[in-house]
Structure 1
Amino acid sequence: MVSEWGVWSDFAGGFIYGPCDSTRAAEAARDELIEQGEDSDDLRVRGLCPDHSDEAQPADACEECN
């Protein structure tokens, strides 16, 4: 079960903000990054792998778990 969330950038190839303790907090961070000029099409909220969050792995595509 995912308990931490972050803002993922495909362009950067990883999380650029996080961890956040809720999707709401991560969405607010995403909105702030967009207001600062980041590309809205590039940013999305993703869960961090609960076993590998210290390595900033996404829960749905963790390189260690999958």
Structure 2
Amino acid sequence: MAEKGIFAGLPWWVKWIAVPALVLVVFGSLITTVLGFVIGLVFKVLLLVALVGGLIFIVKKFTSSSSSKSDW
């Protein structure tokens, strides 16, 4: 196993446990902020799609079922 680079000669746990743990400690709040923003954005997009779909359904139901406006 001829590894080159900064991790050459170090134990496996440094590469696979210690370094990711340090990244999470240093950038943890940034990662959670980005994830929170993305999840919130996806939720808002899905909510918008549901509301627009419901509005279209209601408008089509009341405009195509009767020609008069006495249903309201």
Query: TM-score by structure 1 length?
Result: 0.25
| Greater percentage in helix | 2
Q: Which has the higher contact order (CA 8 A, sep 6+)?
A: 1
| Greater percentage in strand | 1
Larger Rg, first or second structure (1 or 2) = 2
Query: TM-score by structure 2 length?
Result: 0.23
